[in-house]
Amino acid sequence: MTLTLDLPHELETELSTEAERMNMPLPEYILRVLTIGRFASNSPKTGAELVDHWRQEGLIGTRPDIVDSQEHARILRGMAERRAPN
């Protein structure tokens, strides 16, 4: 679907600047902003709703290489603790 909008100049400038900063084409950036905005107003309120959302988005089970999630979290935490400060 194609949609044409007349944006205020200031908003157009802000969107263009942010898209450039993220190294994205402006239409792709605007689509991302609209998608995130739609999700934010419909955001999960409970842990169960969040898991359902992840399941719908196909995110559950995307890392079959992680057999024990708790152990994996401990390893990541340990790596972060030993990381050199910036």
For the chain, the domains span 9-82
Q: What percent of the chain has pLDDT over 70?
A: 95
Residues 80 and 77: their CA atoms lie apart, in Å, by 5
Structure confidence by residue, pLDDT tens digits, 30-49: 999 888 876 666 778 899 99
pLDDT of residue 19 exceeding 90, the answer is yes
Q: Distance between CA 86 and CA 78 in Å, rounded?
A: 17
Model pTM score = 0.45
